Every structure is written in C-alpha cells, then in structure tokens.
Structure 1
Amino acid sequence: MFNKILIANRGEIACRVAATCRRLGIATVAVYSDADAHAKHVAACDEAVHIGPSPAAHSYLLGERVLAAARATGAQAIHPGYGFLSENAAFAQACADAGVVFIGPPASAIAAMGSKAAAKAMMARAGVPLVPGYHGDDQDPALLRREADAIGYPVLLKASAGGGGKGMRIVERGDDFAAALASCQREARASFGDDRVLIEKYLTRPRHVEIQVFADTQGHAVYLFERDCSVQRRHQKVLEEAPAPGLGASRRRSMGEAAVAAARAVGYVGAGTVEFIMADDAFFFMEMNTRLQVEHPVTEMITGLDLVEWQLRVASGAALPLEQDALRIDGHALEARIYAENPARGFLPSIGRLAYLRAPRERASHVRVDSGVREGDEISPFYDPMIAKLIVHGADRAAALRAMRAALREFEVVGVSTNIAFLQRLVASVPFASADLDTGLIERHHEALFPPPRAPEPIAVAAAVAALLARDAQGPYDAHAQPSSSADSSTASTLSMACAAHASPASPWTALGGWALNAPYQRTFSLTPRGEGDDTYDAVTVVYRRDRGVASLDIDGETSAFAYRRGDGPYDFIVTCGASRMPVRAVIEADSVHVFANGDASRFDWHDPLAHAGDAEHDGGRLTAPMPGKVVAIHVEAGQAVEKGQALLVIEAMKMEHTIVAPADGIVDAMLFRVGDQVSDGAQLLHLKSAHAD
C-alpha cells in the first residue's frame, strides 16, 4: 500500500478520497488554485501545493504542474477523482513515464474508451447492441446533416470526447440541425478541447442504467451491480439509486456480464462504469466512464464496500478483495445532488457565498453527506456548483424514499439559490415514488414539479418578524407579556396565536427596547416574499403592537400570534398559529430573512424605508446576465426588431450555454458586449426599447 498520494482534484471528491486515506493511514497532498486557497479539500489533506490561477484550464487541467507537485512532495501515486484529468490518457501515460502510479486504468484503456465513436465501434465488433447512429470520423456539417436525416428525427448530438451532459443537444427537426450542431461543437471545444460529435437516434422514454465494474492487474474482474441514473436535467444526473427498480436477476446478470466483457476487451484496471440505455426490455451500450463516478456512494451503501479503498489496493498491485459470487446487494440507496442552482430559471448555476449551511445529521450507514464546502465558502463561476451529495439507505426502496424525504427537510442553505425544494417535490412525486423512471421524467411532469408560487404561510411571516425583533432587542426580556385579547380564534379570517400564557422569557415579542411616551409601542414591517426563481410577490405588511405588556402581531390586518425562542440558536423559535405549532429557524442575511419551517424554505426581503428612500425605479428595458460567464454568440444587432422569445445572445458559464431571449417585442437599442467578452453577474448585456417608442 502507498504511504503518500496526491489528490489531483478538488471539492467533495477530494475530501472523499482524503477520508479513506486517513482511515488507512495514508498521507495526502492536495492541489489548489487561487480560488481554492482556503477550500475544504485543502484543509482535509496533510499537505497542499498551489498549482495556478482559478480557471481549471490554468490549474487543475495542467498535468505537468500536478506531476511536479507529486514529485516535489514525494507522493507515490496520484488519485485523479472524476472530471479534470481523470480520463486524460496523456496524463495517465505521463504518470507512468514519471514513475508515479496513476490510480486508475492504463492509458491504453482510457484512450480506447475516451472517444465515444471509437468505443461504440469496438463494442459493435464485440457484438454489444448499439443505438442506431453515426460514429464516423468525417465531421463535414453537410454529411452530418445527411446522416441525421437518414437516422430519422429526433436525434441526439453528443460530443465524441464528452461526458457529464456537456456537448449534447436533442434535435427535433432538420431545420434546427445546423444551429444545434454549432452550439454542440462550441460547448465540446470549451469542455474537452475536441469538437467532434456523433449522432444517435433519440429514444423516447429510455432509462439510463449503468454497471459498476472493477478489475485488477491479475486478470480478475467483477461487476458491483447497477445504478439507475434516469432522472436528469440538461442531460446531467439529479437523482441516482441502486439497485435499479424493477430490474430482474436475469437482466442484472446479463448486463453485468456485458459490462465485464467490455472492461476485459480494453485491458481495464481499477474502477469504471459501463453505461447502458434501456428501452422496453432491450439495452444498448452508451459509453464507458474510465473513472470513479459521482454516484458511487449508492453502490457503497448497498454493498458495504469502500470503492476508494478498492482503487488504492488495486493500484498498489493487490488482487480484488472479493470475487463475484461473494458480492451481495443489501437494501436500497438513493443519492440526491444538492446544487447551487435555480431550477425555476432553467437550472442556472447560482454564484455567491454560503452565508449559512446546515446539512442533515449523518446517521451511521443510513444517512451520509459528501461535501466539499463549508459555511462561508464561495460557490465560484470556475467550477461545478455542487454543494453536497446526500445519500441515504433503507431496507427497501420505500424506506430509502422516506429517509431521503426526511433528510432533505433538514438541509438548509442561505446565500445561493439551491435545488432542495425541487428535489423535495421530485422524490415525493408519483412517477418517482412509483419508479416510473426515464430520462424525460422532469420535462414530462414539469407542471407538477414547478408549481405556481403560493403565498407564504403566516407561521413563516411571524418567524421573519420575530427574527428582526430579536436582532433589534435591547431591553430585558419580559416573561409576563400577554397576547392581545382581540385575537379571535373562532373566525376563519383571524389568525390567532396561543403562545401568550406560555411565553418564554426569551420571547422576541417581549424583548423590545422600543418605548413611546403615553402611547402604545408600534412598529410596522414591510416584507416582500421571494419565490424560488427569485421573483418577488406582493409585499406583506406586518404591524407589531405592545401596550402595557399586551402584545399583538397583525399580518395584513389580521391578528396573528407570537413565537418564543428555543435554545438551539439566536433565531430559533417555536411559533403557534391557530391550531398549528412548529419549530422554525430564521437566518438574517443583509436585508433578507430566510425562514426554515418543517422542510419549507421561505425568503422575505425586508424593506427599510430609511435605507431605500432614494432608490431609483428599475429600468424594465435592461437585460442582464443571470450569472458570470462569457459571451459566445450574438444573434442580433443594434436597430434590429425582435419578437418575444427570440434568441438574442448566448452566454457560456461553467461549460454550459445559456440563451438570453427577448422578454417582449421590441427594438435592440444597444449591444453592450461582443463575442468573447466576459460578463459579471447582473451586468447589463443590451438595451431593448419598445417597438412603439418614438
């Protein structure tokens, strides 16, 4: 076994590898860019080496710098994690030439499977069924269009050297082919430095099922069962589970044996994943990922094995710890990827500081959280916006679903938009709960998964005001304040509170320092609820009154009730509203209050009339960047008339393209950026004026 390894990655996978090494007594070396100088993975390792500026192309993707760091620190081996250099055959070969062990397959296996087109040709020769398509080297656009026409629409364009959903486009009709091809090639060049594409028939309602394989240097190879990764957005996985629901023992064995045969065909060593697309009862080879997968924890949960430990042992020359007959499936596991992104805005990544982060409590082998960030860290535009992976295990799928729903209710994040509420709806949805899975599940059930906004619950409003009162409290707490007797719980229009007689000395309702001569104390709050898409809704007016120890809270003219503080944190309360009573937590960030109550997250912008008295009215003609990125295409010019929904320009961010469209009919008054320009979050991109303007 190795004494010291270098981890050529960042984020949660670097922390994950470091944890296994620490358990095995192996010293670790981290590498980091400027943006990651204070990152969690740096703190998780024994040593750290700076390798360059923030962009991955100038740091994590520079194999020579990574190798130099390994030599300088005396690391015997390099673990590449996933992404970055993990499937770079040239880097694997450079490690071998330098006498440093690459913890992964040999360069020849990476090269064989690194090109989707070459891999499919190899599988065809081996008799593995393939989806109809074009996998040739000739990339002439006219030829590609003819091939797509011959295959029949819809077709799927895929970057030949791609992965992770990048460089993929569904083309529904021939007229859209040229634009989709250009976009796919741009994204492929940016992500992989290779703009070659392949074309496949796009199967409707397919399942994405992958097989975890492992092989050693002594000729042994096994499959560690399958994972269902069908639930995806933008061709990237959202939820994964193992084993695949409804997959019988016979089909599991045939797919597993096919995956092992594929691994043997290329002389594979280490951990790999053979991905299949399933339609009806048939399965087709899709690709092989020559690395550890993001979703490997669900396999670990159902097998009880540490796959990183297996990687380390195999790379050091040891045989596989177990043979196929000794491997067993125990229960069911689910993994949810917690992203800093905005599902309501097309899953756009969200950039910012994690002002507050509370993850579910890990519970032995039942709840696991793999994360590469901490509270206070930045989600930057340079890397994948993953916050954490939430993994749960249950005796069966129903138990695992219950565990996932409970764990998601405990996840609380402030500072960036997240997909947590979306995941809650997804795991509770009828199709997912009943295992009616396919890669189009999210799009097909869009209405249910993206419901219209609803008014905030009175309990959340009360908690927001409680937090603001508690923050501003200056005087001693009064344990004897009573609620207003005007609260009438017998009428449906009145929101009555019942906390008065049981108020805690720590109640924010009784902690005000406000004072008025010969008059009751009164304070008015204006709170603007924000939806998941950062849309704002009608403001809520809340009036707090206190007179001779009697307190009341009116929400839009209706009498509501109070909260009293519990001991967990400064803004943790018990709020009672009518017959409902629940613990809530509030977090104040600048002029916003975030409330977490029974798994629901609410955000209120607090309008301070003194602080905002001079704010100018927002100019509706501005079109701003939804996130930092680079302008890669402009489809209009100044003076051009455009229609609502027309594509104006394309921004690339985190290796994904985002099209900015016209919000209404109008005329392009000014273009403020050119192709190739970098833009910051919120930057004005262009200006539209009404088509009827003088």
Structure 2
Amino acid sequence: MIERILIANRGEIAVRIIRTCKEMGIETVAIYSTADKDALHVQYATKAVCIGGPRSDESYLNMQRILSAACLTGCDAIHPGFGFLSENPAFARLVEQCGLIFIGPDADVIEMMGNKARAKETMIEAGVPVIPGSRGVVELDEAFQVARAIGFPVLIKARSGGGGRGMRVAEAEEDFIDAYTTARAEARTAFGDDGVYVEKVVQSAKHIEVQLLADHYGNVLHLFERDCSLQRRNQKIVEEAPCCCLPEKIREAMTADAVKASRYVGYNSVGTIEFLWDGAERYYFMEMNTRIQVEHTISEMITGIDLIKQQIRIADKKKCNLKQEDIRCLGHAIECRINAEDVSADFAPRPGHISFLNLPGGRGVRVDTAIYNGYDIPPYYDSMILKCITNGESRLEAIKKMRIALEELIVEGVPNNVEFLYVLMHEPEFIKGRFDTGYVDTFVQELKDNGTIV
C-alpha cells in the first residue's frame, strides 16, 4: 500500500498532486532546486529535500539525486507529474529497480509509445487510422521521396519528445531540405535524438485528444475528449472539453479507437491518445501521452473524477472502481494557460517578481497555480504560471465565466498573456467553434497587422 510519495516535479502540478495525496491520507516528499527553495510545493509537502542547483539537469532531471531522496525519506512511490522525467522509460525502470512504485504505465509501454515512429507502426498493427507518411525514421533522400509521394505540404517530426519542438512544415519541394535539417537539429538539441519521420499535413484540422483510464486488470475507460486546437506554434494555450463540433458518430468511433489502442499496448495508468480530425469524416492517430497532462483539469471538471487519485490507485494495483456507463459529461469546461511572457515581444518568456496577485473565484471557477504575492518566478523553467479553468452547463456559459475570471485575475510585476486570452474569448470565430490548429497563429498575425500587438 502506498503511504508516502515523492513528487518528482515542481510548480502547479506538484501542488495539485500534494492536494490529492492529502485527501487520500498519503504523505508527500517534495524535491526542489535551489531556485525553488521558497516554492509553494515545498511548503505544502510533508517533507522537502533540496536535490541540486537551479538548472533542470542539476535537479529535476537528475535521476540519481531524485532516487536517493526517495529512498532516504522512506517513500513507497514516485509521481513524475508531467514534463521532466514523466515519459522517460529509463527513469521508470530505475524507480522499479529501487523497489519503488512508478506512478505511471510500465516502462516498456512508455518506450514504445514515446518513440513516435514506433507508436505509429503499433497503431497500424492495432487497426487505428494513422496519418499517411513514412513507415518510421527516414534519412533525407528517402524522406524527400515520401514527401513527393504523399504530396505537399508535409510535416517533418521528431520521433522523440514533444511540445512542438523538432517539428517543421515544408509547404513545397523547395522548402523541404531546410525544414528537414532544421527539424533534425532542433530534435538533437532538445532530445538528444535527431531521428525524424515525415507525414502528410492534414489541412484545417482539429487537435482532439481522448482521456483514458486503464488499470492492471484489463479495464480501460475513456473520459470523453478535449479540443486542444488553440495552439501558438504547436504549443497549446486554450483547451476545452468536450469538443463542441464533433459529430456523435465520430466521437464514438474515436473514443472506441482510443480504448482499443490502449488495450493493444497493455496500458495501465492515466493517459491520452491524440488525434487529428479533418472536420469531416476522417481522423488520424498522432501520438500517445503516457502521463497526466496539463489539461487534465477540464476532463475532471466535466466528469467529477479526480484523475490523480485514479492514477495513484492504479499504480497501487487497485482495480478501477468506475464503469464506462457511470461516466457522464457534466456540461462544458475551458482552460486558459497563463504564461509570464511578453506578447509584444513575440511572446518571449519574462520571469520576475510577482508584486501583486489576485486570483478569480466563484461557482464553476478553478485555479491551479503555485505562485503567490511576492513570489519570484525563476528563469530556468517553463513560463506557465497559472491555469484558469471554468465549467458551465453550456459552452457559452463556460466562456462567459472565463471572461469574468480573466477580468478578476490580476498578475502584476511580470508581463503576461491574460489580456491576449481575454480578447481571444471574445473572438466570433472562437465563440462559434470555427477554429483549427492554425487559427491562433493567424489571429496573432492579424493583431500585429492592425497594430493591436506592437
């Protein structure tokens, strides 16, 4: 039985995990870098251990120090959160070798699905539709031949990692070599792996993901879908659940394929299957995220299910206490990611001192954050400082609540994207649900052209 968990992460996800652990009567051990000595997760945990310097490789990516902290503090398990080591199969194996429980799927599954080219092959075997493209990693000459065969535009995509890095679009033949070499170089820098593959760009597509729960006893459930199409340069900024324009027959087929894919790979944790939907009759597997996701909050809001609690129970070898027919969609939820960034400087990260903070509240409003009045945002990590989530009986109600929440939200001391998101919440095309993965970049360009962003 899990009685003490080390949280191998920081920021709002660490705070989020600690809160659920407290509800479950589980003690927590926070790890922190020297830059995070005053962080909220350090103050909330049962115990806290400094494991190194401010850079991620000195602390949150240092497997040996994390494992030593877990063993020395008598932990039973490690929760990796998202990012950092959450999808690192080597870390998952080391956790188990130390006699600890890794709160996530088996290392072999993480490895299989983390390699995007291999994951695509696996989905073909499982009978799940995939985007036309290369059958795995390809060198330049073969990649060019594949691109010509499937037709431009094409996407060159790193087989490792995520977050939009190692991805480049070649609109035409003359763009291909530059896009290919740039994608490989970026992948090598970001992930230490420059393997890339090629796939067809699905025009005017929506990014839809299905939230899954799977235990060790063959039970696989879905918690409906999320629309994550509002992205800036392949980085999500707003998510909502469910997708407001997904036909019911597509929803049923997509969720069934997600469940089938999870069963095929022997998945046993919380996870997500991501699809591209062409807005009509076809959808395609993109990738599987073998961890809790940033936007898990909106799935929790529409179902009332604590995904972190379920993830811990599954890791503790408990049978899933839910049935598919018991999971209901309770209205609509939207999440906005609040970043410390300068919109007028091409959204460049801007860490600094929070001189004043006022958080929104009220019925159907949730805020997940680790910042507070007087907090100093370190320059070493992701620029996301807060997630604002609203829930309403209808999509329009959720949007209206989000507008009010963003009006109430005050973050002084650092530039941020609150005003930008507030404007987005009033855009007619957004309100109508008529947006795809390219919408935000076009919207930003329009704001620059009319002088709104200077």
Structure 2 length normalisation: TM-score? 0.96
Q: Corresponding residue for 1:152?
A: 151
Q: Corresponding residue for 2:414?
A: 416
Q: Corresponding residue for 2:83?
A: 83
In the aligned structure 1, how far is the partner of 2:35 from the partner of 2:176?
38
Q: Residues 449 and 369 of structure 1: is their aligned pair in 2 closer, same or farther, counting only changes over 3 Å?
A: farther
Q: Residues 287 and 318 of structure 1: is their aligned pair in 2 closer, same or farther, counting only changes over 3 Å?
A: same
Tell me, yes or no, if the aligned pair for 1:8 and 1:60 is still in contact at 8 Å: yes
In the aligned structure 2, how far is the partner of 1:70 from the partner of 1:325?
39
User: What amino acid is the match of 2:250?
Assistant: R
User: What amino acid is the match of 1:432?
Assistant: F
The Cα offsets for residues 299-342 of structure 1, whole Å up to 9 and x where unpaired, read as: 00000111101111111111112111111000000000001112
In the aligned structure 2, how far is the partner of 1:48 from the partner of 1:220?
35
Q: 2:442 aligns with which of 438, 441, 444?
A: 444
1:141 Cα deviation from its structure 2 partner? 2.6
1:179 Cα deviation from its structure 2 partner? 2.8
1:218 Cα deviation from its structure 2 partner? 1.3
Tell me, yes or no, if the aligned pair for 2:105 and 2:267 is still in contact at 8 Å: yes
In the aligned structure 2, how far is the partner of 1:271 from the partner of 1:162?
19
In the aligned structure 2, how far is the partner of 1:149 from the partner of 1:342?
39
The Cα offsets for residues 524-564 of structure 1, whole Å up to 9 and x where unpaired, read as: xxxxxxxx65xxxxxxxxxxxxxxxxxxxxxxxxxxxxxxx
Tell me, yes or no, if the aligned pair for 1:358 and 1:410 is still in contact at 8 Å: yes
Q: Corresponding residue for 1:182?
A: 181
- Aligned residue for 1:377, secondary structure, equals coil
1:384 Cα deviation from its structure 2 partner? 0.5
Tell me, yes or no, if the aligned pair for 2:207 and 2:437 is still in contact at 8 Å: yes
Q: Residues 300 and 173 of structure 1: is their aligned pair in 2 closer, same or farther, counting only changes over 3 Å?
A: same
Number of aligned residues:
453
In the aligned structure 1, how far is the partner of 2:354 from the partner of 2:145?
49
Where do residues 465-476 of structure 1 align in structure 2 (5 Å cutoff)? none
Tell me, yes or no, if the aligned pair for 1:156 and 1:200 is still in contact at 8 Å: yes
1:453 Cα deviation from its structure 2 partner? 4.9
2:35 corresponds to 1:35 = yes
1:223 Cα deviation from its structure 2 partner? 0.6
Q: Residues 129 and 285 of structure 1: is their aligned pair in 2 closer, same or farther, counting only changes over 3 Å?
A: same
Tell me, yes or no, if the aligned pair for 1:40 and 1:373 is still in contact at 8 Å: yes
Structure 2 residue runs of 5 or longer lacking an equivalent are none
Where do residues 177-326 of structure 1 align in structure 2 (5 Å cutoff)? 177-279=176-278, 280-326=280-326
Q: Corresponding residue for 1:568?
A: none
In the aligned structure 2, how far is the partner of 1:50 from the partner of 1:246?
47
- Aligned residue for 1:273, secondary structure, equals strand
Where do residues 376-455 of structure 1 align in structure 2 (5 Å cutoff)? 376-446=374-444, 449-450=447-448, 452-453=450-451
- Aligned residue for 1:50, secondary structure, equals strand
- More contact order relative to length (CA 8 Å, sep ≥ 6): 2
Structure 1 length normalisation: TM-score? 0.63
In the aligned structure 1, how far is the partner of 2:240 from the partner of 2:436?
13
Q: Residues 308 and 261 of structure 1: is their aligned pair in 2 closer, same or farther, counting only changes over 3 Å?
A: same
Deviation >6 Å, runs of 4+: none
User: What amino acid is the match of 2:145?
Assistant: R
Tell me, yes or no, if the aligned pair for 2:3 and 2:76 is still in contact at 8 Å: yes
The Cα offsets for residues 192-240 of structure 1, whole Å up to 9 and x where unpaired, read as: 2211111111122100000001111111111111000001001011110
In the aligned structure 2, how far is the partner of 1:204 from the partner of 1:449?
23
The Cα offsets for residues 644-694 of structure 1, whole Å up to 9 and x where unpaired, read as: xxxxxxxxxxxxxxxxxxxxxxxxxxxxxxxxxxxxxxxxxxxxxxxxxxx
Tell me, yes or no, if the aligned pair for 2:4 and 2:27 is still in contact at 8 Å: yes
Aligned Cα RMSD in Å?
1.6
Q: Corresponding residue for 1:101?
A: 101
Tell me, yes or no, if the aligned pair for 1:242 and 1:298 is still in contact at 8 Å: yes
Q: 2:371 aligns with which of 363, 370, 373?
A: 373
Q: Residues 444 and 126 of structure 1: is their aligned pair in 2 closer, same or farther, counting only changes over 3 Å?
A: same
The Cα offsets for residues 288-309 of structure 1, whole Å up to 9 and x where unpaired, read as: 0000110000000000111101
The Cα offsets for residues 251-298 of structure 1, whole Å up to 9 and x where unpaired, read as: 222111111111111111110000000002211000000001100000
- Aligned residue for 1:93, secondary structure, equals helix
User: What amino acid is the match of 2:424?
Assistant: L
Structure having the higher strand fraction is 1
1:142 Cα deviation from its structure 2 partner? 3.1
Q: Residues 343 and 154 of structure 1: is their aligned pair in 2 closer, same or farther, counting only changes over 3 Å?
A: farther
- Aligned residue for 1:61, secondary structure, equals coil
Tell me, yes or no, if the aligned pair for 1:426 and 1:449 is still in contact at 8 Å: no
Q: Residues 375 and 229 of structure 1: is their aligned pair in 2 closer, same or farther, counting only changes over 3 Å?
A: same
Where do residues 355-374 of structure 1 align in structure 2 (5 Å cutoff)? 355-361=355-361, 363-364=362-363, 366-374=364-372
1:248 Cα deviation from its structure 2 partner? 3.1
User: What amino acid is the match of 2:407?
Assistant: R
In the aligned structure 1, how far is the partner of 2:75 from the partner of 2:397?
43
Percent identity (aligned): 46
In the aligned structure 1, how far is the partner of 2:355 from the partner of 2:171?
42
Tell me, yes or no, if the aligned pair for 1:425 and 1:449 is still in contact at 8 Å: no
In the aligned structure 2, how far is the partner of 1:173 from the partner of 1:99?
52
In the aligned structure 1, how far is the partner of 2:20 from the partner of 2:391?
20
User: What amino acid is the match of 1:178?
Assistant: I
Structure having the higher helix fraction is 2
- Aligned residue for 2:425, secondary structure, equals helix
Q: Residues 181 and 381 of structure 1: is their aligned pair in 2 closer, same or farther, counting only changes over 3 Å?
A: farther
In the aligned structure 2, how far is the partner of 1:44 from the partner of 1:289?
28
- Aligned residue for 2:286, secondary structure, equals strand
In the aligned structure 2, how far is the partner of 1:340 from the partner of 1:408?
15
1:411 Cα deviation from its structure 2 partner? 1.3
